[in-house]
Structure 1
Amino acid sequence: MADILRIERLDLAVADFDWDFARTQRAAIDAHFEATRRIKPGMWNGRVLLTHAQDIDGDCLRARYFETDFASFMAWRDFGFADDGVRNCFALGALQGSDGAFVMGVMSNGTMNAGKIYFPGGTPDLNDVEGAWVNLEASVRREVQEETGLDAAQFDIDSGWHCILAGPLVALLKPMRAREPAAALCERIRGHIASEPDPELAEVHVARGPGDIHPAMPGFIQTFLRSAAR
């Protein structure tokens, strides 16, 4: 079972790194990406950030990011997290209605995680870099608005994070509590989905308790929801 830790401070730097997997497995990576693009032609080989070093000291998470292409990231995942020295350290907005229910999205068919149920957010990219630092606080606020159409200013946002360590995944969940119930959030998110030509979300999922945990949720989200219900 994944561990959940309380994190108050982030020390996230980005620098050059020679990723052996991306260099030595280039042909297999490119072939895998092209095969995926034949199924999902809208998939774009942009730039993302992964970590090659991370540690937790008290309530502080330190991580060192490097830039790579999306094709290498996807192959690393799909080949069984081929390099065990690398982690995907990402931020999600744990959206919660004023009635206590959590609100998540069902990922659309064109995305890497099609059909999975996630909180909004994702793997950081170059938009999250400020100088030599990665700003996950800004990242999660931007991703919430892009995916759901909800303005982060409409939430009461916790200053810290719930950090879930799940093998090659380091999930940072930012508690964000709305001033309206989950049903109202869902209505607004569905309106946003309908207005988008290529939405990231296909539908909305509400979790009011452990009975709403779904197999399409990643294990770390299931762990978080069970913990939140206690």
Structure 2
Amino acid sequence: MLQLTSNMSEWPDERLIFPIRHVDLRVTEGPHPYFLAERDKIAENWAQEILANPALYDGRMMLSRAVHIRDGVISGEAHIVRFSTFLLWRKTRPVTSAIHLFALPVIVSSDGAVIAIRMGRHTANPGRVYCAAGSLDPEDIRDGICDMDGNMAREVMEETGLALSDADSVSGFHALHDRGVITVFRSYGFSATAAELIERIAGHIAQDPDPEIDEALAIRSADPGLHLYQPFMAPILKWVFKNRR
């Protein structure tokens, strides 16, 4: 049985990439304790958020708690919450109350580029650049456990039209954490070139009546100042390009 709080004192250092063998994130029924404690502030913040961006959608997603990292295994509990709950948590980062864990598929073209996307201005991450991914949500629950691979395949298909099953090679899982956000990632090597992959994604965006992304990008450098990256991208890009040599 999990303890009530995370064993954060035993976690690897922040922004340090480490290998993992398994993610055991079990779904717990009932409201997240963070939501119960902050529901009034969550509602107030959501009213401000949608006033600034009416396009935001208060959909359902998974927010974790009691996360443990030990012996190559990440384990924890996840509750279904509304996106509005996560938005307040993201602003304040009370890591003793909740942890945001998500999966990131890193697509690498045959000519060595990391394929990323730039989020649209109407989204919750306007202009941010990162590999196509999204929060775990109820569609990703399999037998009471969050399915990392299923989530990555679904998000990539929805956002880019690419099928991760078409990859010629798939790495093992690695992870890093930063201020209560745990990014679990693995790389997918494609036989197509960066230009070919970007062309496919552009076609998908053109056919989507309400695309979340503005464009796809081929990243060939670990330079952290090249784009407006999400914080987790810089160490991951450095790791990917270092390990491809």
1:59 pairs with 2:85: no
Query: Contact 2:177–2:183 (CA<8 Å) still a contact in 1?
Result: yes
CA-based RMSD of the aligned residues comes to 1.8
Distance 1:58 1:213, change over 3 A: farther
How far 1:69 moved relative to its partner? 1.2
How far 1:21 moved relative to its partner? 3.2
CA–CA distance in 1 between the matches of 2:23 and 2:154? 18
| Residue of 156, 159, 180 corresponding to 2:168 | 156
CA offset digits 1:4-39 (Å, max 9, x no partner): 011222222111355343223222211221222233
| Residue of 145, 152, 171 corresponding to 1:133 | 145
How far 1:85 moved relative to its partner? 3.3
* Residue matched to 2:10: none
Map residues 159-198 of structure 1 onto 2, 5 A cutoff.
160-198=172-210
Q: Which is strand-richer, 1 or 2?
A: 1
Local SS of the residue matching 1:227: helix
CA offset digits 1:112-168 (Å, max 9, x no partner): 111110111121010011231111111101111000011122213525212111121
CA–CA distance in 2 between the matches of 1:21 and 1:61? 21
| Residue of 194, 212, 226 corresponding to 1:214 | 226
TM-score, normalising length from structure 1?
A: 0.92
CA–CA distance in 1 between the matches of 2:97 and 2:39? 18
CA–CA distance in 2 between the matches of 1:36 and 1:29? 10
CA offset digits 1:64-108 (Å, max 9, x no partner): 211111111111112x21353311100111011011110100011
Map residues 7-156 of structure 1 onto 2, 5 A cutoff.
7-16=20-29, 18-78=31-91, 80-156=92-168
Identity %: 27
CA–CA distance in 2 between the matches of 1:22 and 1:12? 19
CA–CA distance in 2 between the matches of 1:51 and 1:223? 23
Q: Which amino acid aligns with 2:155?
A: E
Distance 1:124 1:185, change over 3 A: same
Q: Which amino acid aligns with 2:104?
A: L
Unaligned runs of 5+ in 1: none
Distance 1:157 1:121, change over 3 A: farther
CA–CA distance in 1 between the matches of 2:124 and 2:45? 13
CA–CA distance in 2 between the matches of 1:167 and 1:180? 36
Unaligned runs of 5+ in 2: 1-13
Distance 1:192 1:37, change over 3 A: same
Query: Contact 1:21–1:83 (CA<8 Å) still a contact in 2?
Result: no
How many residues are aligned here? 229
* Residue matched to 2:6: none
Q: Which amino acid aligns with 2:60?
A: R
Q: Which amino acid aligns with 2:38?
A: Q
